[in-house]
Structure 1
Amino acid sequence: MNKVGFVTGHRLPNTPDIHGMPLNQAVLARLAAGEAPQDAIDAALSECPEIDAGLIAMDTSGRIGFGNSVRVARRTDCGVAERRSDVAQLVLLHNSIFSAGSFAEKLADLAWSHLAGAPTSTRLLFVRQRTPIRLSARDRVHVTADGTITAIESANLRLQSAHRRATAIYLGSEIWQDGQLIGWAATELLAETSEGWLPKEAESPPMPIVMEAVRTSHITPHAFSSRLKQDGTH
């Protein structure tokens, strides 16, 4: 953050506006000139309704503004979520052709649980090492208490012998920990597979999926917090 605030976004927020300035920099310049974040974003996007971008801006006083261009707002895969309280605030924009349901709300709940300590049924799980893929009658993912995926079971006959990029964890797969069903996969994992294994390199970053818990009492809001910080995903 510089002395006036910061601007982030999705799609292509650095696309030049009608004046030739990257859109995110144009909003930052408006903040520097004293405009409120929401006013700055509204003005910048109104000049470029067909630009392929959504923006979030925050000034040094903590005020937040956000919005999508008219073009982005026409997409059918966009999500937006907002949380505010006396101690914290959060805004999330995304687009994803792979999202399902209220994905933005799930991610916002997860982030809000870390910001404000609120309970959430959304969790992040990670493939952190080479992981076996086993043939099974049901799609299941086995995890440890810290959210590490230890095994994948799939009813897909071809997955165990596949040597290619494939959907290793299918949307809606059951999540099991210590012999108990704790949730379902809210996202999929597309990854390289090799004859019954996810051959993850030890130095490569963890591969995440989002889990929707059976009920929030199964896992405390920050059960995975320490491991999330190790993975750099907080």
Structure 2
Amino acid sequence: MTIGIAAHGPNAGLAVFRALAAVEAVGRGAIGGFVSLAALTADGSVARATAQRGGIAALWANGEAAIPAAIASATTAGLMSSGPDRPEPLSQFTPAEAGVGLVTGHRMPNTIGVNGVNLNDEVLALMRTGMAPAEAVEQVVRANPDVDAGIIALAADGRIHAANTALVEKRGDTGRALIDARESGAVVAVLHNAIHPHRPLASLAAEVAMDVMQPDDRPDGWITLHEGVRLAAGAVNAVEIDADGAVEAIVVADARFLSGCWSLGIGYETGVIRRAEQIAVMLYEPYMVVNDGVLRTIDGQTEFRIPVRSS
């Protein structure tokens, strides 16, 4: 009956916002009610946003455009969400501390455990002593096997861990995802239950968050295709550019495309060549129409800019 999402990386606050928005857009069940969001901001404070009803859209009246910059750009952020009208304060579902990290989860991670402390608060307290998120979560989960809770712990430095108690592991409607790309600057974890379809939703939320923090198509530059560029035969598909980034020739491995009229795609991450050296790959594959070895249109246009990533 809840979902927890935590992320660390560039614009992690925006990442968890979009991740929950994606789940609400395609899922059904225990969503669209309360949201408790916490972010560790650049000025060393904890920023919060909460709503009891309406889900992610209720946090700010104008939606994503109204997210405070400090939250959107925070590199450590997490949220918990479910149906409406949870006990106040909603911050009890997402304890956080600047310089330490934050804790979220699903089910009832704010339940008092065997040590007389809410499980999520206990995990954060262990992290405050220097314990790693994985060790803190596993210690608390093992000590409370019959508590109805799943916990995600995220340290301010990006270390992350997620686990369910033994009781929650018996359920048949849970979802879990963890993407740990800390070496390249981003991590995300998701736990949920009672939201359907339950199998793909955790992966969807995690991938949406990663797409905000580390989009696969973030360009390092641009090249320009234009009508009239000639095709040339070569060993592999590629585009040859001049010093200004304009495409001078489209190299194709299949010589059939040099005569007649064809619709043409030149492949995934096709190489960009300058002075006989590959300097980049294309991040977008346009739909091209060629006639007798000459480019006529690119996605229906006569000129088109394409994002590229340096090799």
Q: Structure 2 length as normaliser, TM-score?
A: 0.37
Give the structure, 1 or 2, with the largest relative contact order (CA under 8 Å, sep 6 or more).
Answer: 2
Q: Which has the larger radius of gyration?
A: 2
- Structure (1/2) with the larger helix percentage: 2
